[in-house]
């Protein structure tokens, strides 16, 4: 999946940490494409609580959405979550994740992850349900990214501080030689 020239940045982390806002802002700043989170639309369309049977359709949908949008990207693409999120949430909610999804998450790792901290207020919406578990889920993301050997930058502070940290991390990535595919 990794293209030699295309650098993929994934904005990730717990619920209600500004991932979508940041991904859209970064894509605009760098004049590139961004891949929205498939699970958010899936939840809205299902209009019922998710269960373990939804994990694989979400993973398939995320892969298809990524592949479609990334085919139009050139040097940089920004993803509002990826399969790492599917793995973390499957384990959090259901205690396990199908092995093929975990393998695919490792194979499709982004070049860099922007891990959004939980230091912003919780904003409820239809796709969010765990305001009291944000720190636990944040720790699960950090552990999973470390286990996969992913490079990451912690994004925290005000919205403007978050954007500045993320922009700086991406500029550093773009200025450095690419990590092996």
User: 32: pLDDT confidence band, cut at 50, 70 and 90?
Assistant: very high
Phi, psi of 6 (to 5 degrees): -75, 125
Domain boundaries, the chain: 7-175
Q: What is the pLDDT of residues 81-116, one digit of tens each?
A: 999 999 999 999 999 999 999 999 999 999 999 999
Q: What are the residues facing 50 on neighbouring strands?
A: none
Q: What is the pLDDT of residues 131-147, one digit of tens each?
A: 678 899 999 999 999 99
Give CA separation, 170 vs 78, 112, 130, 162, 174, in Å.
Answer: 10, 8, 30, 12, 6
What is the DSSP annotation of 92-141? HHHS---HHHHHHHHHT--SEEEEE-S-S-----TT---GGGHHHHHHHH
In the numeric block, the tokens 């899936």 are attached to: 42
From CA 25, how far away is CA 169, in angstroms rounded?
A: 14
Q: What is the pLDDT of residue 121?
A: 81
Q: What are the residues facing 116 on neighbouring strands?
A: 13, 155
Q: What is the pTM of this model?
A: 0.91
- Helical pair 83-94 and 38-46, crossing angle rounded to 10 deg: 50
In the numeric block, the tokens 């994004």 are attached to: 155
Minimal CA–CA distance to 172: which of 4, 7, 6? 7
Q: Is the pLDDT confidence value at 13 over 90? A: yes
3-state secondary structure of 175: helix
CATH number for the domain running over 7-175: 3.40.50.300
H or E stretch at 158: none
């Amino acid at each position: 999946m990794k293209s030699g020239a295309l650098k993929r940045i994934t904005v990730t982390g717990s619920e209600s940490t500004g991932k979508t806002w940041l991904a859209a802002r970064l894509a605009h700043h760098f004049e590139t494409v961004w891949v929205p989170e498939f699970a958010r639309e899936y939840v809205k369309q299902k209009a019922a609580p998710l269960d373990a049977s939804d994990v694989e359709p979400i993973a398939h949908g995320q892969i298809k959405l990524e592949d479609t949008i990334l085919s139009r990207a050139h040097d940089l693409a920004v993803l509002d979550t990826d399969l790492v999120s599917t793995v973390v949430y499957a384990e959090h909610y259901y205690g396990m994740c199908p092995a093929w999804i975990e393998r695919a998450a490792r194979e499709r790792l982004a070049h860099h992850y922007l891990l959004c901290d939980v230091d912003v207020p919780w904003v409820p919406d239809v796709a969010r349900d765990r305001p009291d578990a944000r720190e636990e889920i944040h720790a699960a993301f950090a552990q999973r990214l470390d286990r996969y050997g992913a490079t990451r930058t912690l994004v925290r502070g005000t919205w403007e501080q978050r954007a500045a940290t993320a922009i700086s991390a991406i500029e550093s990535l773009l200025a450095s030689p690419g990590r092996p595919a």
